[in-house]
Amino acid sequence: MNQQEQQRQYERVRGIFDEWARAGRAEGMEQGHGPAAREGFAFLEPGPGQRYLDIGCGNGYTVRWAAEAGAQAFGIDLSREMIARAKKLSAGIPKTEFQVCAFPDHPFEPGSMDRIFSMETFYYFPNLDEALQAAFDLLRPTGRMAVIVDYYGENQDSHSWPEHLGCAFDLRSEAEWEDSFHRAGFAKVQRRHFLYPPDPSKERWKSELGSLLILGEKKA
């Protein structure tokens, strides 16, 4: 994408998530994504003395988890409405900070984070590889990152989402996601699946394919 196309992408994605936040869907996403998010969060194991960042934090639920675990926890999101919701829900919770941010632009120093998390965000970025590299550069040595996506090559039920939402998505297979992590510099890259319990009211892919977790570490 050229710069103008990238700006249109950001504006479209911001509009989608602002609308969802105003419609009360932020908490629904927390409930729906929460089980898979817990799986990635368990890999990160944030704790006292660490700095934690959620890229695309929505209403800030994992930021609150990290703060409760003793970490200094930050959340960034393109959506102003989501950040407003996150600040409201996190009021009075120490060690939580939120900011509107069009990642990979961000206010943090390189090598300033111990743990980075992202749920259903990276495939929206106009340049996914640039975003992964920016996240890697934010990590301190021995830092960890967990990215979780439901939109990926093997999950064909997800392939209609870009047309439905009217914006561009970066479609990658499981192997391509792993390769992307390696290219960014990550070591000990893992691929996992989080399978949801079978439920006739839910899409079948959730229990048959599940959410894709890509996990990586930065060498010491």
What pLDDT, in 10s, does the model give residues 186-202? Answer: 999 999 999 999 999 89
Alpha helices in the chain (DSSP H): 3-22, 25-44, 61-68, 80-89, 128-138, 161-165, 174-184, 205-208
116, part of any domain: yes
Binned at pLDDT 50, 70 and 90, residue 52 comes out as very high
pTM, two decimals, is 0.97
Rounded CA-CA distance 201/205 in Å is 12
Span 137-155, mean pLDDT? 98
pLDDT at 2: 82
199, part of any domain: no
pLDDT, tens digit, for every residue of 30-46? 999 999 999 999 999 99
94, part of any domain: yes
pLDDT at 49: 96
Total domains present in the chain: 1
pLDDT at 1 over 80: no
Domain of residue 128 covers 3-135+167-171
pLDDT, tens digit, for every residue of 75-132? 999 999 999 999 999 999 999 999 999 999 999 999 999 999 999 999 999 999 999 9
Residues 6+ apart with CB under 8 A from 17: 58, 77, 78, 79, 81, 82
pLDDT at 3: 85
pLDDT at 198: 93
pLDDT at 54: 98
CATH for 81 = 3.40.50.150
pLDDT at 34: 96
Coil, helix or strand at residue 211: strand
202, part of any domain: no
pLDDT, tens digit, for every residue of 161-188? 999 999 999 999 999 999 999 999 999 9
216, part of any domain: no
37, part of any domain: yes
What percent of the chain has pLDDT above 90? 97
Span 143-159, mean pLDDT? 98
152, part of any domain: no
112, part of any domain: yes
Burial profile 63-99: b = 16 or more Cβ within 10 angstroms, e = fewer: bbbbbebebbbbbbbbbebbbbbbbebbeeeebbbbe
